[in-house]
Chain A
Amino acid sequence: MSHSSQSASSSIRLDAGTHWICTCGASKNFPHCDGSHKGTAFQPLALELETAKIVEISK
């Protein structure tokens, strides 16, 4: 992926349900997609959790 090279990682607890994970790296609210991907080729990733999980996401 061609997004910025800085390595940020965040560990958060997500409840059961669908979460939109930012893949473009531009979100001000990473790891959640905030719509900043507009105009790029990226689309957020739909993460569906059946139970609450700890999710660690590194760019």
Chain B
Amino acid sequence: MKIIIRDDIPAASSRNQRLAKPVIDLATAPYAILVLRVSLGLLFVAHGGLKVFTFTLPGTAQFFISIGLPGFLAAPVAIAEILGGLLLLAGIYTRWVALVLFPILLVATFKVHGANGWLFSNEGGGWEFPALFAIACIVQFLLGDGAWAIGSIGQRRASN
């Protein structure tokens, strides 16, 4: 009589295990995510701040109208950028914040910079930079919090 005992790996988690081990260095990955999160956070805060303090909200609204976007979006977009940027910096609801900010960048890519050609140094700014920015948001959404995120402290406590 012979008995062979194998691990029972559910189909759903086998995919995660296959991906988690060979392709990610788990020792450094959280810091890579942190760098992305802080960069995105700073960029969003800066762009939101620019809309509020430098262009002012009426100025931003005018700019929006000039490129065919509704002017009333100026304040919500500026608030979303500043608030979203701060949440990213703090690492609170990172994934969902990144996902919410993604459409703003899609609009920036296609509506604002789409007509300027792709090259970043074109007049008015080509769309390659907002496109990269948008992709970085999706990447952040897929990655999650990373190191030193306030949002994941509570989670870790809860799971311990």
A3 → chain B, closest Cβ, in Å? Answer: 8
A53 B3 Cβ-Cβ under 8 A? no
Interface stretch (choices B4-12, B28-36, B85-93): B4-12
B1 A54 Cβ-Cβ under 8 A? no
A55 B1 Cβ-Cβ under 8 A? no
User: How many residues on the B side are at the interface (Cβ–Cβ under 8 A)?
Assistant: 8
B2 A58 Cβ-Cβ under 8 A? yes
**In the bound complex, CA of A32 to CA of B6 (Å):** 18
B4: A residues at CB distance < 8 A: 55-57
B160 → chain A, closest Cβ, in Å? Answer: 21
Interface size class of A (residues with CB under 8 A): 10 to 19
A47 → chain B, closest Cβ, in Å? Answer: 7
B8 A21 Cβ-Cβ under 8 A? no
| Contact with B5, one of A3, A53, A59 (Cβ below 8 angstroms) | A53
Residue of B nearest to A23 (CB): B1
Which residues 57-113 of B sit at the A interface, judged by CB distance below 8 A?
none
B7: A residues at CB distance < 8 A: 51, 53-54
Which residues 13-59 of A sit at the B interface, judged by CB distance below 8 A?
13, 21, 23, 47, 49, 51-59
Which residues 1-53 of B sit at the A interface, judged by CB distance below 8 A?
1-8
A21 B3 Cβ-Cβ under 8 A? yes
A3: B residues at CB distance < 8 A: 1
B1: A residues at CB distance < 8 A: 1, 3, 23, 57-59
**In the bound complex, CA of A49 to CA of B1 (Å):** 19
A57: B residues at CB distance < 8 A: 1-4
**In the bound complex, CA of A59 to CA of B5 (Å):** 15
Binding site for B on A (CB under 8 A): 1, 3, 13, 21, 23, 47, 49, 51-59
A sample of 16 more A-B contacts (CB under 8 A), given A53-B8, A56-B4, is A1-B1, A23-B1, A49-B5, A52-B8, A53-B6, A55-B3, A55-B4, A55-B5, A55-B6, A56-B3, A56-B5, A56-B6, A57-B2, A57-B4, A58-B2, A59-B1
7 A-B contact pairs sorted by A residue (CB < 8 Å): A21-B3, A49-B5, A52-B8, A53-B7, A53-B8, A56-B5, A57-B1
